[in-house]
A and B are shown apart, each in its own frame.
Chain A
Amino acid sequence: MITAERKPIDEIIEYIRPFQKILLVGCNECVTVCSAGGRKEVGILSSMLQMAFLKQGKSIQILEHTLERQCDPEYVEELVSMIDGVDAVLSMACGCGVQELARRYRNKPVFPAVNTKFMGASERQGVWAERCAGCGDCLLGITAGICPIARCSKQLMNGPCGGSTGGKCEISPDVDCAWALIWERLKALNLTDRYEEIIPAKDWRNGRGAGPRKIVREDLAE
């Protein structure tokens, strides 16, 4: 999923300071799972903002709403009835959600309340870790299901650098060396022969290299 973290409260306050009536919109998908921008976080942020402004002697009005999915026009349509009555929108969805609101409601200022981080998975309760960089041409089939693009600090595609120590990455003892993980798993799967196949230089056009990407499914597209 896409992970996110709430922005520092002061930054959010600065965005909305000039406005009176705010629509604060959460999203029920990824940002809910990583506890950054679901219904609960919308409620908390709303009270924090009210209090902060109250302290400064200013009262603001915040409408709260959480969409099923903020990156989907179908759900974003739900806001039609609320949008006209507010001065600005504050979104707790990922960057896709924020942009969907900005695209649909062209005349309304939309501000992000979270920093969108990465595509990750839940390692354990309260810990999310990066797993995929969306390179567009997945190598997991040859790297034993562990991504060297997203998980090796140097994006090495053909094996560990000279800094790999005790299964940890040279950048920090808190970071697993992706190649140590790959090697362990290749061993466990009896596939160590695969390590010696050279993975050729990547065609980054599959990733961000060719500019903004789009998937068009002719069979589904209207």
Chain B
Amino acid sequence: MKTESVLEKVLRSGNFAVTSECGPPRGAVPAKILEKAKMLGDYVDAVNVTDNQTAMVRMSSFGASLFLRQAGLHPILQMVTRDRNRLAMQADIIGAYSHGINTMLCLSGDHPKFGDHPMAAAVHDIDSIQFIQMVRKMRDEGKFQGGADIENPPKMFIGAAANPFADPFELRVARLAKKVAAGVDFIQTQCIFNLEKFELWMEGVRKRGLHEKCDILAGVTPIKTVGMARYMKNKVPGMDVPQHIVDRMAATPKEKQADEGIAICVEMIQRLRQIEGVAGIHLMAIEWEHKVPEIVQKAGLYPRPKIN
């Protein structure tokens, strides 16, 4: 075991892991984050806390993670290279670790263009692979990126994202291999709707044995409405929603669409569980956190293993 991370313990114990996501509020309102945390409570092993998601200012991932930690949950500190240079990032990592936060996700982040500060300067001092390298060096060598020693190095369980649906597709396995070489421990994928394409990617992953070197959590998202399905299909870069899913939502009466979305999500989880090399799911129920317990239960993933 590399860390004290509950997610790592769940994965090592051979359990199928469940993580979810929690977007911090756009203001100093701890109650909002605690409310979401309570809903997720017992149903997931760890909760991603997003970092200025979609390039909009929110309560910092660190600040919100601390509330989750205090509420007895296991936060996954998300961090993007867009907003901070390597000094600020390392400072936050040791700060978070000092507060018992031991799991994190290294990302480059959405472009400022998509948020409400399109005029902001993006930093990108390092990229996501260099970021993984940096955290691994902090943990395993006890050294800052610049080479100096760290007193009490942060033992972080290191995560990153992978998008099997972005282009160029043939490069996507190699991109994961690079993250593995950089030292990633676990991967959360983009939301999966196109199972065939995901299978194809996993085949490439298995061929190179990458699933044995990092734990792959398959991303899933419940669709609320046919409008959301269409939006994700047409407007979100790197998202692959097949037409049959849109059609299935469209064929469902409006008041039943939410339930249908959940049914699709549960079916998807069941199919993903059968795929060799998938170690868990990452459930992104964007502003629909209260549905997480239902989905986890219906997918047969409740109760979660008790791990200290």
Interface positions of A (Cβ within 8 A of B): 153-167, 170-171, 177, 179-180, 183-184, 192, 195-196, 198-202, 204
**Would you call A180 and B190 a contact (CB within 8 A)?**
no
In contact, A201 and B237 (Cβ under 8 angstroms): no
Q: Which of B38-46, B121-129, B265-273 contacts A (4 or more CB under 8 A)?
A: B121-129
B173 → chain A closest CB, angstroms = 10
Cα of A184 to Cα of B109 in the assembled complex, Å:
24
**Contact status of A196 and B177, CB under 8 A, knowing A160-B166, A162-B190, A201-B145:** yes
Majority-rule SS of A interface residues: loop
Contact pattern, B 168-205, Cβ under 8 Å of A = 1, otherwise 0 = 10010011011001100000001000000000000000
Q: Evaluate whether A198 and B171 lie within 8 angstroms (CB atoms) in the complex, with A162-B161, A162-B166, A162-B238 already known.
A: no
Report A-chain residues with C-beta under 8 Å of the C-beta of B174: 159, 192, 195-196
Q: Which of A153, A171, A180 contacts B167 (CB 8 A)?
A: A180
* A-B contacts, CB under 8 A, total: 104
Q: Which residues of B have CB within 8 Å of A201?
A: 86, 125-126, 130, 133-134, 145
Asked whether B129 lies within 8 Å of A153 as measured between CB atoms, the reply is no
Closest A residue, CB atoms, query B163: A162
A153 engages B111 (CB within 8 Å)? yes
A sample of 6 more A-B contacts (CB under 8 A), given A167-B167, A200-B130, is A156-B124, A158-B129, A160-B166, A163-B237, A180-B168, A201-B130
Given A162-B161, A166-B167, A154 and B113 touching (CB < 8 A)? no
How far is B174's CA from A147's CA once the two chains are assembled, in angstroms? 20
Which of A153, A155, A163, A165 is within 8 Å of B127, CB to CB? A155
B interface vs A, CB < 8 Å? 81-82, 86, 108-111, 113, 122, 124-130, 133-134, 145, 161-163, 166-168, 171, 174-175, 177-178, 181-182, 190, 237-238
Evaluate contact between B145 and A183: CB separation under 8 angstroms. no
Report the Cα distance A154→B133, complex, angstroms: 18
Which residues of chain A are near B133, meaning CB under 8 Å?
198, 200-201
Chain A residues, Cβ within 8 Å of B182? 198
Distance (whole angstroms) from the CB of A176 to the closest CB of chain B: 12
CB A208 to nearest CB in B, in angstroms, measures 12
- Distance of A202 Cα from B125 Cα, bound (Å): 8
Q: With A and B bound together, what is the CA distance between A201 and B145 in angstroms? A: 9
Say whether B129 contacts A154, CB under 8 Å.
no
- A158 — which chain B residues lie within 8 A by C-beta? 127-130, 178
> How long is the Cα–Cα vector from A74 to B161 in the complex, in angstroms?
55
Q: Contact check, A159 vs B171: say whether CB atoms are below 8 A apart.
A: yes
How far is it, in angstroms, between the C-alpha of A215 and the C-alpha of B121 when the chains are bound?
A: 28
User: Contacts A160-B171, A164-B167 known; A196 to B130 CB distance under 8 Å?
Assistant: no
Choose from A160, A161, A162, A170 the contact partner of B168 (Cβ within 8 Å).
A160
Partner of B166, one of A157, A161, A171, A196: A161
